């Protein structure tokens, strides 16, 4: 097992002659601690698969270095990196039995048959494949095939890390939930570094201790699910995580205080830096409340989602979403709202304006 470090990693795929390179990864500096359970979360096209392929060695980055436990491996081929990778679509040898498919990564490296038997049985048991071990893989459903793919990723115990690239995309929702819990359980048992790619926030938040959020070729924030919720470092994190996502509203700054429309807003710390870019205020729907004074709004829509209601509000041209808990009432006339100052954030060119003198 190893600690994996990305140092100034950038990657551009070959571009047509005469055209400037387009970077699929813009600049990544990231440490994956040995034994960590990471989710790599981001929309389609943001560079997740590119990043995984750089870890496993399927791709050599255009710039920068990859280190395993401090040793450079940037130019090492896949076969020398000891990385198991599970792809989005099943990779299965149809003519082989389920047993032989699972055994393949072990036999390929010359493992003793007794170890092969022992590991294959363990993994088959975990994935409920024991009854089909003697069957040919070609007869299995898409779910079954993807379970074999997962099993092949998990069968070796000598790998530096296991990379999962959206492995549950083709699996039915109930089984998806089961397999995800199993992976989490397995991580707790064996403590191997796991990086799990997904574009689904629920999947990321349930699997990982640390979620790495990617957007447009960069890592915008790494944090626990709670950190990502409470303190989004980038407006993208704010609206990608949470349902509904964070409200991002235009604002100006006067005397260190954001002004939205004509409404001064309170924050937990003043903006002390001179800002030159576009300034916005971010507030999650959970921290918007009806109040006696504040921002006048009209109510556009109320959606009852059982334990809470999502209220869509308008203030001039802006739309603001609010979450109302059970037992709270809609105001009878002239509604006004205020934002919880502890969760009212200022962003400049989409990045959080942090408290001066505080590193986090
Ligand atoms: P994700 O896995 O997050 O969906 P990818 O890493 O597959 O994203 O892709 C990142 C960007 O790189 C996208 O813009 C994609 O079109 C581009 N890209 C991916 N693979 C190739 C390739 N083989 N050649 C050229 N461009 C590619
Ligand atoms: Mg991908």
Digit-coded pLDDT (tens) for 127-142: 889 999 999 999 888 8
- The pair of three-digit structure tokens given for residue 63, joined into one six-digit string: 């710039």
Q: What is the biggest distance separating any 2 CA atoms in the chain, rounded to whole angstroms?
A: 77
- Alpha carbon of 42 to ligand 2 centroid (Å): 10
Mean pLDDT of the region 95-99: 96
pLDDT in tens, 258-298: 999 999 999 999 998 888 999 999 999 999 999 999 999 99
3-class SS letters over 142-203: HHHHHHHHHHHHHCCCCCCEEEEECCCCCCCHHHHHHHHHHHHHHHHHHCCCEEEEECCHHH
**pLDDT attached to residue 359:** 58
CATH of 4-230, one of 3.40.50.300, 3.40.50.2000, 3.40.640.10, 3.30.565.10: 3.40.50.300
198 Cβ inside 6 Å of ligand 1: no
Please enumerate in sequence order all residues whose Cβ is within 8 A of that of 207, keeping only pairs 6 or more positions apart, or say none: 37, 39, 180, 183, 184, 196, 198
Mean pLDDT of the region 82-105: 93
Among the residue ranges 108-112, 185-189, 342-346, the one predicted with the least confidence is 185-189
Atom of ligand 1 nearest to the CA of 217: 10
Among the residue ranges 137-146, 160-169, 204-213, 350-359, the one predicted with the least confidence is 350-359
44 Cβ inside 6 Å of ligand 1: yes
**pLDDT attached to residue 112:** 95
Atom of ligand 1 nearest to the CA of 50: 6
**pLDDT attached to residue 85:** 94
CB atoms within 10 A of CB 104: 18
Count Cβ neighbours within 10 Å for each residue of 40-57 and write b for 16 or more, e otherwise. bbbeeebbbbbbbbbbbb
**pLDDT attached to residue 273:** 84
Mean pLDDT of the region 190-202: 88
Q: Which residue minimizes the CA distance to atom 7 of ligand 1?
A: 49
CA dist 90 and 61 (Å) reads 25
- Alpha carbon of 13 to ligand 1 centroid (Å): 8
| CA-based R_g, the chain, Å | 24
49 Cβ inside 6 Å of ligand 1: yes
**Per DSSP, what are the bridge partners of residue 85?**
163
Q: Which residue minimizes the CA distance to atom 12 of ligand 1?
A: 24
**pLDDT attached to residue 317:** 94
Contacts 24+ apart (CB under 8 A), 310-313: 310/244, 310/285, 313/288, 313/337
**pLDDT attached to residue 333:** 87
13 Cβ inside 6 Å of ligand 1: yes
**pLDDT attached to residue 245:** 96
Please enumerate in sequence order all residues whose Cβ is within 8 A of that of 255, keeping only pairs 6 or more positions apart, or say none: none
Q: Is the pLDDT of residue 80 over 70?
A: yes
pLDDT in tens, 40-54: 999 999 999 999 999
238: which DSSP letter? H
- Write the CA distances from 214 to 49, 123, 155, 167, integer angstroms: 11, 31, 29, 18
pLDDT in tens, 329-356: 899 889 999 999 999 999 999 999 998 8
Q: Is the pLDDT of residue 360 over 70?
A: no
**pLDDT attached to residue 99:** 97
**pLDDT attached to residue 185:** 84
16-25, 51-60, 186-195: which has the highest mean pLDDT?
51-60
Domain ranges of the chain: 4-230, 243-352
């Amino acid at each position: 097992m190893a600690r994996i470090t990305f140092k100034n990693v950038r990657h551009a795929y070959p571009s047509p002659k005469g055209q400037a390179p387009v970077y699929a990864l813009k600049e990544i500096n990231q440490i994956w601690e040995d034994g960590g359970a990471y989710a790599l979360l981001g929309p389609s096209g943001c560079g997740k698969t590119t990043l995984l392929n750089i870890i496993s060695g399927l791709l050599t980055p255009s710039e920068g270095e990859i280190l395993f436990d401090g040793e450079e491996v940037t130019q090492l081929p896949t076969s020398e990196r000891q990385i198991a990778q599970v792809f989005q679509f099943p990779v299965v040898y149809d003519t082989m039995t389920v047993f032989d498919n699972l055994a393949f990564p072990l036999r390929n490296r010359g493992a003793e048959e007794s170890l092969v038997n022992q590991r294959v049985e363990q993994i088959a048991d975990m994935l409920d494949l024991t009854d089909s071990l003697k069957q040919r893989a070609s007869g299995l459903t898409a779910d079954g095939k993807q379970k074999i793919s997962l099993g092949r990723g998990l069968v070796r115990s000598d790998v530096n890390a296991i990379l999962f690239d959206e492995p549950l995309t083709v699996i039915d929702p109930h089984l998806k939930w089961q397999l995800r819990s199993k992976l989490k359980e397995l991580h707790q048992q064996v403590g191997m570094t796991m990086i799990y790619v997904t574009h689904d926030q629920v999947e990321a938040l349930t699997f990982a201790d640390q979620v790495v959020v990617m957007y447009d070729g960069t890592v915008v924030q790494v944090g626990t699910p709670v950190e990502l919720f409470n303190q989004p470092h980038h407006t993208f994190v704010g609206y990608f995580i949470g349902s509904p996502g964070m409200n991002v509203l235009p604002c100006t700054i006067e005397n260190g205080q954001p002004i939205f429309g004509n409404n001064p807003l309170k924050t937990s710390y003043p903006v002390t830096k001179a800002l030159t870019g576009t300034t916005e205020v971010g507030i999650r729907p959970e921290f918007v409340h009806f109040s006696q004074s504040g921002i006048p709004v009209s109510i556009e829509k109320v959606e009852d989602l059982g334990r809470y209601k999502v209220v869509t509000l308008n203030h001039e041209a802006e739309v603001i979403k609010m979450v109302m808990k059970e037992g709270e009432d809609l105001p009878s006339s002239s509604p006004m709202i205020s934002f919880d100052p502890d969760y009212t954030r200022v962003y400049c060119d989409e990045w959080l304006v942090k408290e001066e003198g505080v590193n986090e």
